[in-house]
Amino acid sequence: MKLEPEYIEKLAKIITDNGLTEISMEDGDQAITIRKDLPEVMMAPAAASVSPAVVQSAQPAKTTEEAPAAEVQGKAITSPMVGTFYSASSPEAAPFVEIGSEVAVGDVVCIIEAMKLMNEIKSEQTGKVVKICVKNGDPVEFGQVLMYVE
């Protein structure tokens, strides 16, 4: 990861294009967080600007939000990137998984669209889907929990 102005501008564009307020990237011992400050009155997405962004570069930090242990059991499947969550391959198709679905290692559980590319997210464990944490079409961030499998 290079912290050059062009790279930072690309990350800022991802924030604007996906309606996000923050993006964090980690690469080895380097990390960068870009945060868009919003006025007290929310602006319309078309009027949003990234110019008042705060850029931080620091040691990697774990940013994955975890549900309380009593609420959810199982292993989390997290988003490997910033993008848009899709539960099916097309609007007419059945979801890849639903609560109660059995999955095996390598099974596609959802799609994350990032920069006009559809990225299949595959299960890294075998088990049953016990909770889906995001809805179809929701924006997701790097490390965000998508679902739990036990």
pLDDT tens-digit profile of 18-36?
777 777 777 767 677 777 7
Provide the pLDDT for residue 61: 45
Angular region, 72: left φ>0, alpha ψ -120 to 50, beta rest: beta
- Phi, psi (5° rounding) for residue 98? -135, 170
pTM above 0.75, yes or no: no
Choice between 77 and 13, residue whose per-residue pLDDT is larger? 77
**DSSP-assigned letter for residue 95:** P
Provide the pLDDT for residue 53: 43
Task: Report the C-alpha gap between 83 and 46 in whole angstroms.
Answer: 18
Scanning the structure block, which residue is given the tokens 């994350």? 112
Most confident by average pLDDT, 47-56, 69-78, 93-102: 93-102
Provide the pLDDT for residue 62: 43
Tens digit of pLDDT for each residue in 82-138? Answer: 999 999 999 999 999 999 999 999 999 999 999 889 999 999 999 999 999 999 999
Scanning the structure block, which residue is given the tokens 């008042």? 52
